[in-house]
Amino acid sequence: MPMITKTVKIDENNIDEALIKEAGEIIKRGGLVAFPTETVYGLGGDALNPESSKKIYAAKGRPSDNPLIVHIYRIEDLYEIVEEVSDNAKKVMDAFWPGPLTMIFKKKDKVPFETTGGLDTVAVRFPIHPTAMAFIEASGGFVAAPSANISGRPSPTLAKYVCEDLDGRVDMIIDGGNIPIGLESTIVDMTGEKPMILRPGFVSREMLEEVLGEVCVDPTILDANSTERPKAPGMRYRHYAPKADMIIVRGDSDRVVAKIKEMGQNKECTVLCVSEHVNEFAGMKVKDVGSEKDYNEIAASLYRVLRECDDENTALILSESFSDKGIGAAVMNRLIKAAGHKIIDV
């Protein structure tokens, strides 16, 4: 049954306490609220209520073996839901919380298996977005939230995309305007011998290694041919997928430009490229993803650009490939998934 969705605007610099309280009451009653975070919009429900988690899966159309991230608004609450916090985890918390980083811990019984997709571990994130923090506090402190998109679509970085996907499926949508980072949080598994990155994000491997020394990366993340199962169940699914066919062209930048021009000749297609190359593709339909000098800009625009291609019914997307250093690793991870691993090396 579709429900009536109330959409409200909240300015993070001047938070409307009455609206936040109303949003928190919805969560406490077992309802769903979409809200802004610094990474992407989230689809929130009470993390400690199994019925709420079931509703989240239903609203997203997501397989229920794909665990949810539990969002907190203060460090002390971590100890309520996880068994053990290692010295390494404390170092990571000191350096990056609150912020765009999620850690996996052994869970306490208090966290229902409905929230963790049946796993005995739980993913925990302490976001830094002021509206997210106020909302989590008003909700009782533990908000389970996947990205606020229908399963398989790019994560929303603007409220209009949340509305497109979730209108009629959630009780409230909080419009917090533009989202600064634009890619989901880095996920680090702290339950093994060595910390392991399960999903790259704004907090890069290099940044984590400065705090922890050596950090492993789940080998399935960038390797299209890997036969291993990704450790984050969600990384298995074809994610972040635009409706169009998408191909990435990788290699030396002159050759990449030449190859894309050749492939796009006399074809209806859209080219994704850095600002510096826009003029190279004169006569073709081009989307500027941002300057190659600022990967944060590319990260922030990627999902919006993919959604625009959907809106314009693009049949074929030809994308340049980007550096995989720093946040570039996260950009390339999402881009390769969006393309269903279709890459041409030149």
How far apart are CB 149 and ligand TXA at their closest, in Å? 8
Q: DSSP string spanning 223-235?
A: -TT--SPPSSGGG
Under the binding rule (CB under 6 A), the answer on residue 39 touching ligand TXA is yes
DSSP for residue 39? S
Q: Which residue is nearest to ligand TXA (CB)?
A: 234
How far apart are CB 183 and ligand TXA at their closest, in Å? 8
Is 126 in a helix, a strand, or coil?
A: coil
Residue 307 half-sphere exposure, CB side, CA atoms within 13 Å?
Answer: 20
Give the ranges where the chain is alpha helix by DSSP (H). Answer: 17-28, 50-60, 78-81, 87-96, 113-116, 130-138, 159-166, 205-212, 253-264, 295-311, 328-338
How far apart are CB 327 and Mg ion at their closest, in Å? 18
Q: Going by DSSP bridges, is the β-strand pair 196-199/216-217 parallel, antiparallel, or unpaired?
A: parallel
Is residue 345 within 8 Å of 298, Cβ to Cβ?
A: no
Residues in the chain: 346
Under the binding rule (CB under 6 A), the answer on residue 184 touching ligand TXA is yes
How far apart are CB 41 and Mg ion at their closest, in Å? 10
Binding range to ligand TXA, per CB under 6 A, among 79-87, 120-128, 168-176, 321-329: 120-128
Alpha-carbon torsion, ordered 137, 131, 37, 133, to 10 deg: -30
Nearest to ligand TXA of 20, 40 (CB atom)? 40
**Alpha-carbon distance 140 to 71, whole Å?**
11
Binding range to ligand TXA, per CB under 6 A, among 32-40, 73-81, 221-229, 338-346: 32-40
How far apart are CB 75 and ligand TXA at their closest, in Å? 17
Nearest to Mg ion of 147, 270 (CB atom)? 147
DSSP for residue 68? P
How far apart are CB 102 and ligand TXA at their closest, in Å? 5
Token code pair at residue 30: 């077992």
Under the binding rule (CB under 6 A), the answer on residue 102 touching ligand TXA is yes
- The phi, psi pair for 164, rounded to 5°, reads -55, -45
Under the binding rule (CB under 6 A), the answer on residue 187 touching ligand TXA is yes
**Alpha-carbon distance 319 to 72, whole Å?**
37
Site string for ligand TXA, 143-162 (x = CB under 6 A): --xxx---------------
How far apart are CB 66 and ligand TXA at their closest, in Å? 5
Give the ranges where 140-204 is alpha helix by DSSP (H). Answer: 159-166
**Alpha-carbon distance 234 to 220, whole Å?**
12
Is residue 213 within 8 Å of 88, Cβ to Cβ?
A: no
Q: Going by DSSP bridges, is the β-strand pair 69-71/121-125 parallel, antiparallel, or unpaired?
A: parallel
Q: How many residues line the site for ligand TXA (CB under 6 A)?
A: 28
DSSP for residue 11? B
Nearest to ligand TXA of 180, 233 (CB atom)? 233
Site string for ligand TXA, 235-274 (x = CB under 6 A): x---------------------------------------
Is residue 321 within 8 Å of 248, Cβ to Cβ?
A: yes
Under the binding rule (CB under 6 A), the answer on residue 122 touching ligand TXA is yes
Residues near Mg ion (CB under 5 A): 147
Nearest to Mg ion of 95, 150 (CB atom)? 150
How far apart are CB 240 and Mg ion at their closest, in Å? 8
Nearest to Mg ion of 102, 147 (CB atom)? 147
Under the binding rule (CB under 6 A), the answer on residue 123 touching ligand TXA is yes
- Residue from 26, 158, 159, 232 binding ligand TXA (CB under 6 A): 232
How far apart are CB 76 and ligand TXA at their closest, in Å? 20
Residues that bind ligand TXA (CB under 6 A): 37, 39-40, 42, 66-69, 102, 104, 116, 119, 121-123, 125, 145-147, 184-185, 187, 198, 231-235
